[in-house]
Amino acid sequence: MSPSLARSYRCHYHPKDRDGYPAPCDSGVLPFVQIRARDAENAQRIAHQITGCSISNVERLEEAAA
């Protein structure tokens, strides 16, 4: 995949506790990872592989206009 075709995505995930169960998020803000991928579905798969957690949502990050 060409780097010019990849887009940036922010993937929010539900963290796990030390026993592997979903941990409550006290602040109400889910942690996230930023991924470069060709589409949102691919970004979600990569984020799941990296974190090992369920992914809550995926947002495409747009580049700011100059």
Phi, psi of 40 (to 5 degrees): -65, -40
CA distance 41 to 58: 8
Phi, psi of 23 (to 5 degrees): -95, 140
Q: Does the model's pTM come out above 0.75? A: yes
Give, in order, the Cα–Cα distances in Å from 35 to each of 5, 14, 20, 26, 46.
13, 16, 23, 25, 8
pLDDT digits (tens, 9 = 90+) for 1-59: 555 678 999 999 998 888 888 787 777 788 999 999 999 999 999 999 999 999 999 99
